Amino acid sequence: MANKIVTEEARKQIGKAGEARTYDVERGAIRRFAEAVGDPNPLFNDEHEARKTRFGGMIAMPTFYRSMGSPIPDIKIEALGATFRGLDGGSDWEYFNPIRPGDRITVQTRLVDLRESEGRLGTMVFITMETSYTNQFGAVCATQRSTAIRY
């Protein structure tokens, strides 16, 4: 059966990237983020203690990346129109390298999957975006996949 909403034309947008954003990571921002979550781990809060570890200094906690946004690519799905409702389904993270104070992180979000299925709310559209976080040495620190559900 042909898709009702996610047409072949719509799927051609897979791979489309939003505008990249670059952030300078400050020590205070790393600490404030950990404080907001309520995580007292010395790795994320205490330079003196963190220096004694194999990291040799403070690093950011795994969800610090949420403070560095980037615009999602402009995706057109004709049947959804402008007034669709959405739900944030969650996140899938992969971590490759730590992020440290003074790092310069480039953030970019791409559409990596677009599909539909029939659910109790009618036809549900799953829009999967992947955001990559790359440091000033060209090393990917993390990727985040998020699936938004539109119905």
Partner 1 sequence: MAKQIYFEDVEVGSEIGPLEKNPTTQQLVKYAGASGDFYQIHYDKDFALANKLPGVILHGALKNGFLAQLMTDFAGAEGWVRKLSVQYRGMDQPGTKVVCRGKVVKKYHDNGHHLVDCEIWLENAKGEKTTPGSATVILPARHAH
| Footprint of partner 1 (CB under 8 A) | 29, 32-33, 35-39, 41-43, 49, 52-55, 61-63, 66-67, 69, 87-95
**Nearer to partner 1 by C-beta: 4 or 52?**
52
**Nearer to partner 1 by C-beta: 39 or 47?**
39
Shortest Cβ 78–partner 1 spacing (Å): 27
Shortest Cβ 40–partner 1 spacing (Å): 9
**Nearer to partner 1 by C-beta: 3 or 42?**
42
Give the DSSP letter string of 12-73.
TTTT-B---EEEEPPHHHHHHHHHHHT---HHHH-HHHHTTSTT-S----TTGGGGS--PPP
Shortest Cβ 48–partner 1 spacing (Å): 12
Name the nearest CA neighbour of 133 among 87, 36, 65, 47: 65
